Structure 1
Amino acid sequence: MTTRRARFPSAQGWLRWALIAVPMVTAMPRADGLAWVLIGVTLALSVPMPWIQDLGARTPSAVLALAVIASAGALWVVLPGSWASVALFSTTFFVVLRQAPAPIALAVALNAALIATVWVLRQDRWETALSTYAVLAVVVLMGLNRRARLARLEQTELALARAQTANEEHARAAALAERARIARELHDVLAHSLAGLSLNLQGARLMLVRDGASPDAVAQLERAQQLASEGLAEARQAVAALREDAVPVERAIADLLAAYRLDSGARADLEVAGEPRELDPAVGTALVRAVQEALANTRKHAAHAEVDVKLDYADGSVRLTVADRQGRRPPDAAAAGYGLRGMGERVALLDGHVESGPGEDGWRIHLTVPA
């Protein structure tokens, strides 16, 4: 089970699919037995293309893209004059744009071999093969140029995010300093004055009782002493409130994920479902500590793995799911570590429960606490 949101294919996803499907359809009138097989295989492989977000650098998407290149290229060899080369080169472009160096090298080598095969079978002039290699070079250069541009945009966004975080931290530090100053003033002036007033009123009440004063006078002093005591308690609560700076759970988790992104360079996303609300401090602490422990385990056992976190505000409870994407099913742990046991104990004290274990493509932690 994963927490990735179901999303409708993007325009780029549909374009990627169309650049494969349309050439296959145009090749059908000239197809024979083998060509029909290759057309069917290529169309079947193209079905997941719209749902693969930007052909992200993962093993399944790389294998799928290389399989499309191989099947479309084989059709181009069988039907040299068809548009199968469009599917071949367009898929190669998206591989260069998003994949790791190894799949890119395989895709370029596969293209080069297919071009040479077509040239040999057709016995064309060497200029024809050279022009096709030039097209391949242009496709690769366009993909690399687009890739570099996207990398620059990501670096710019990261720099802006860092600057915004620094400004927010500076403003927060200034606010905390001002609140600390006000808290000191309240404590040193108001709280001390109320404490002294309460003691003096208590002494005056005892003197009136000793001297046999009227019950009404003693009752009035008792009432004044009670008001002074209540005012002192409220002043102390105000000082405590000013001293504390409760950070929303969503912000705390987002900060942990931002630190993980900066540390590992991998994607780490937070999805919030339901209507966020103020949580009990113990509940918020349990949720933040759970994400912290999960990220620590990911750094230790699956460095640079992508992470998805989902925080779901349900009626009467809050559910948290942390799943890392290792690209494979991890082995079962021999025994829960101290961190996971501590997480379970903390959640159990809140009458919640924790589930952790391997998923289809990584490790998954799911906890539910009443809130």
Structure 2
Amino acid sequence: MNAVRRLEGIDWVRWGIITVPTLFAISSASAVTWPLIVLVAVVSLPVLLHDRTAPPRWLLPAALVLVIAATGALWVLRPSGFTSVSMFGATFYTLRSSGRVASGFAVAAAAGTIIAWAISQQPSWLNALAPLAALIVMVLLAANRRGRVARLEQTELALARAQTATEEHARAAALAERARIAREVHDVLAHSLAGLALNLQGTRLMLVRDGASADTLAQIERAQKLASDGLAEARKAVAALREDAVPVERTVSDLLASYRLDSGARADLVVEGEPRELDAAVGTTLVRAVQEALSNTRKHAAGAAVEVKLVFGTDEVALTVVDRQGRRPPDAPTAGYGLRGMGERAALLEGKFESGPGEDGWRIHLTVPA
């Protein structure tokens, strides 16, 4: 809906030029001219109010053509009046503001009026040519204005296209540079960190075999964890540089890889359904659930194997994490802060969260809409 604006001075001037000269004919109005005067007064209202009432596009051109025809008839019937001013004013305004069809009707109505006036009044050839010359000048002025407006629009369009092309070129260059940096980070830093983490894992196992001190093993494990964390951060940086959202299944896989390197235990991921991009809140909830489950496994069942199952359904995503302790764990007296947090995250998404002991380990199950 268009915003209502206040009438400006140019609106009153335009309406006055088209309407007021006709009103002078009221003093000498007859039964024939009264209907024409009333018609001009009524159909000229769109000239004043067309921007305020948002009428159909055809209303203003149609009203102007009617004004030209009515004021032209008044001019033929009362040639001594000022109604010709209204006719020429309406014609000029139509030529400036309307399309080719309305302009054609306006010129035809004005030319027909001039011819009818010349036939009825029999003026000299010079006086007869003067109104036609005025009409021709109006047409030329309107054509010149249309051409100027068209050239300005073409210039603005060309500038807009040039600016868009420049911005797209700059964006493409920036994306290409970011992709190059991402490749370097992935091929050099990420691979180096992955190799370092594996070497540290092998070193830790060798030290355990050779009976190294606990302090030495702790230092190696700390270095291994730093390498694993650095690898995860490097992958996040690559995704950010490429402006790609890291898929949930890939993030979970990285967490399990870190768990394997950290504990030496088996950690498997099973994905069912067709993986797809998830809402940020849903993805964060799933990843935080896996992180908390692995943290609890490290704390309460160190070295236990972990199985993670991620199921992509039509309307929801289900996550199951089970640590295989080889025995049924005891029931927790109260839910810890981590389990409470997982339940709260699921509740915020109108999902479901279950946690408890299974036959041979602890099990959590999370279902969230997607």
In 2, the alpha carbon distance for the partners of 1:140 and 1:172 equals 47
For 1:47, which of 45, 48, 64 is the aligned residue?
45
Structure 1 letter corresponding to 2:19: A
The Cα of 1:38 is off from its aligned counterpart by 2.3
In 1, the alpha carbon distance for the partners of 2:206 and 2:146 equals 86
User: Partner of 2:226 in structure 1?
Assistant: 227
The Cα of 1:108 is off from its aligned counterpart by 1.1
Structure 2 letter corresponding to 1:163: A
User: Partner of 2:21 in structure 1?
Assistant: 23
- In the alignment, is the contact (CA less than 8 A) between 2:46 and 2:60 conserved in 1? no
In 2, the alpha carbon distance for the partners of 1:116 and 1:175 equals 68
SS for the counterpart of 2:94 is helix
The structure-2 alpha-carbon separation of the partners of 1:65 and 1:103, relative to structure 1 and needing over 3 Å to count, comes to: same
The structure-2 alpha-carbon separation of the partners of 1:116 and 1:206, relative to structure 1 and needing over 3 Å to count, comes to: same
Range moving further from structure 2, 142-151 or 37-46: 37-46
The structure-2 alpha-carbon separation of the partners of 1:155 and 1:124, relative to structure 1 and needing over 3 Å to count, comes to: same
SS for the counterpart of 2:186 is helix
User: Partner of 1:185 in structure 2?
Assistant: 184
In 1, the alpha carbon distance for the partners of 2:82 and 2:193 equals 88
Is there any run of 5+ residues in structure 2 with no aligned partner, and where?
246-276, 280-370
| Matching of residue 143 in structure 1 with residue 156 in structure 2 | no
Overall identity of the aligned pairs, in %:
54
- In the alignment, is the contact (CA less than 8 A) between 1:56 and 1:99 conserved in 2? no
The Cα of 1:92 is off from its aligned counterpart by 1.7
User: Partner of 2:171 in structure 1?
Assistant: 172
The Cα of 1:144 is off from its aligned counterpart by 0.9
TM-score normalised by the chain length of structure 1: 0.58
- In the alignment, is the contact (CA less than 8 A) between 1:112 and 1:133 conserved in 2? yes
User: Partner of 1:118 in structure 2?
Assistant: 117
In 2, the alpha carbon distance for the partners of 1:143 and 1:230 equals 73
The structure-2 alpha-carbon separation of the partners of 1:8 and 1:182, relative to structure 1 and needing over 3 Å to count, comes to: farther
- In the alignment, is the contact (CA less than 8 A) between 2:46 and 2:59 conserved in 1? no
- 1:33-89 CA-partner distances (Å, limit 9, x unpaired): 443432332222222224546x99953433232122222222323332333222222
Range moving further from structure 2, 167-176 or 6-15: 6-15
- 1:284-304 CA-partner distances (Å, limit 9, x unpaired): xxxxxxxxxxxxxxxxxxxxx
Which structure's CA Rg is the greater one? 2
User: Partner of 1:364 in structure 2?
Assistant: none
The Cα of 1:110 is off from its aligned counterpart by 0.8
- In the alignment, is the contact (CA less than 8 A) between 1:194 and 1:229 conserved in 2? yes
In 2, the alpha carbon distance for the partners of 1:195 and 1:207 equals 19
Q: RMSD of the alignment, in Å?
A: 3.3
Range moving further from structure 2, 94-103 or 168-177: 94-103
Is there any run of 5+ residues in structure 1 with no aligned partner, and where?
247-280, 284-371
In 2, the alpha carbon distance for the partners of 1:5 and 1:216 equals 76
User: Partner of 1:333 in structure 2?
Assistant: none
- In the alignment, is the contact (CA less than 8 A) between 2:118 and 2:128 conserved in 1? yes
Range moving further from structure 2, 179-188 or 135-144: 179-188
User: Partner of 2:204 in structure 1?
Assistant: 205
- 1:100-147 CA-partner distances (Å, limit 9, x unpaired): 333222211111111122233334334322211111111111111111
SS for the counterpart of 1:213 is coil
SS for the counterpart of 1:150 is helix
The Cα of 1:186 is off from its aligned counterpart by 1.5
User: Partner of 1:38 in structure 2?
Assistant: 36
Structure 2 letter corresponding to 1:42: V
| Matching of residue 105 in structure 1 with residue 109 in structure 2 | no
In 2, the alpha carbon distance for the partners of 1:214 and 1:282 equals 46
